[in-house]
Amino acid sequence: MIARRTFLKYLAASPLLATTSSGRALAAEIFDEGSSSLADYLITSPADALDVFDFQRVAQSVLPVAHYGYLATGTDGNETLTANRTAFDRFYLRPLRMIDTSRVNLATTLLGSALKSPIAIAPVGSQNAFHADGELAMARAAGTRDALQILSNVSTRSIEDVIAARGAPVWFQLYPTSDWSVTEKMLRRAERAGAEVVVLTVDLNSGSNRVMLGQYIRADDRDCSACHSTHPDAWLERKPMYDGTGATTAGFDTPGMTWAFLERLKGATTMKVVVKGIVTADDARNCLNYGADAVYVSNHGGRAEASGRGAIESLPEVAAAIGERVPLLVDSGFRRGTDIFKALALGADAVCLGRACIWGLAAFGQPGVEKVLQMLNAELAMVMGQMGAPSIADIGSQHVAMR
Ligand SMILES: Cc1cc2nc3c(=O)[nH]c(=O)nc-3n(C[C@H](O)[C@H](O)[C@H](O)COP(=O)(O)O)c2cc1C
């Protein structure tokens, strides 16, 4: 089958065949959307990957159906999830020629820290659902690639163990509960562990309608009771950051949270505070008014509301609202160096990867994440060279325009 499909790939790539209707049908049959690989080709080593979608296919093949559904799901009919990818097409690149790019340097700074690259790892909860080593494998990969890692507070590994595996502090992402004392205990613990930045996620306060997840759970006929007890607070037992906090699942609904919470958080911690989940200029201004040290544009990878708007489309208005006052991070839908370059050109200082790193983790553990990070950094370096931007500071609005 592979041999036939490999042959068909070359046929489909032929300009002659691809311009005929049968050629287009053939191409549609054998290629994944957005991927340059054969739809059913599974790599057996990270070194064989051509793009991050190679890891997605392996992840899907190795994960339990319901776990893959948890990873892949958007909300409603996946309108935002889809827009996160298609919106990149609305922005095109404007390469500037004949600039010396014999040395391309990805180094940058963020909130006062020197980074080897603006590509960072987004907070993703429950990573043991994707690999037995979960957040520890992610941390080791972040360590070897010297990448910034943001740890979710619904992680399956503790911040102390993750920082030990990373060999350096990570940023700590916080979902508050309705009980302030839970938040306070967690802040103290993160500070003691060495975290210097807390990322407050504000985009899931009233729930999300994850239809696709439900469909995958429905299709999974395994007995999952060993891990997923029906007791409402059982899942908290697998979340070490809640140990000793007195948290209950009931406290996870926070529809009453307002901007006053950000002010309170700022006053309660020595860590710098980043606000994650901002998609409008209005809220970017609120972040500044209530003391945020950085703003993080995100629609939770299409897992919050079905706004139908891609994260890259939110970036320009947020960037314009905050100007140069605080750093700007972004995630949701980033799969290629070109995507990352567009965000940097539109004003982002750093770009975080959610699913791309998890695909690497699920597929091959630590080496899979390392390859995802290496590949996207190499892709970004190549685009920077092509665009005539040898350093991150050289990337600007001159390099991108909207259709
Ligand atoms: C399985 C999964 C779990 C996630 N868990 C968290 C979390 O615990 N905290 C958080 O702030 N964001 C969480 N996110 C959102 C990510 O931080 C990030 O915003 C999103 O994955 C970016 O989109 P991308 O996956 O298309 O790169 C999660 C995303 C996924 C896919």
**pLDDT tens-digit series, residues 206-240:** 999 999 999 999 999 999 988 888 888 888 889 99
Contacts of 272 (CB under 8 A, 6+ apart): 111, 196, 197, 198, 293, 294
ipTM above 0.90, yes or no: yes
Q: Look at residues 56, 39, 32 and name the one whose alpha carbon lies nearest to residue 368.
A: 56
Is residue 15's pLDDT more than 70? no
For residue 152 and ligand 1, the question of a CB distance below 6 A is answered with yes
Find the 96 Cα to ligand 1 centroid distance in Å: 34
**pLDDT tens-digit series, residues 54-109:** 999 999 999 999 999 999 999 999 999 999 999 999 999 999 999 999 999 999 99
Average pLDDT over residues 166-175: 98
Is residue 67 annotated as part of the catalytic site, yes or no?
no
Helix (H) or strand (E) run with residue 277 in it: strand 272-278
Query: Angle 211-219/65-72 helices, nearest 10 degrees?
Result: 170
For residue 123 and ligand 1, the question of a CB distance below 6 A is answered with yes
Residue 350, classified by CB atoms within 10 Å of its CB into exposed (0-12), middle (13-18) or buried (19+), is: buried
Q: Does domain 88-208+235-402 have CATH number 3.10.20.70?
A: no
Contacts of 58 (CB under 8 A, 6+ apart): 42, 43, 359, 362, 363, 364
Mutate to test the pocket of ligand 1, among 55, 71, 78, 124 (most ligand atoms within 8 A of CB): 124
Q: Look at residues 141, 143, 148, 145 and name the one whose alpha carbon lies nearest to residue 122.
A: 148
Phi and psi torsions of 197, nearest 5°: -135, 135
Q: Look at residues 257, 233, 255 and name the one whose alpha carbon lies nearest to residue 246.
A: 233
Is 252 in contact with 125 (CB distance < 8 Å)?
Answer: no
**pLDDT tens-digit series, residues 239-298:** 999 999 999 988 888 999 999 999 999 999 999 999 999 999 999 999 999 999 999 999
CA of 276, closest atom in ligand 1: 11
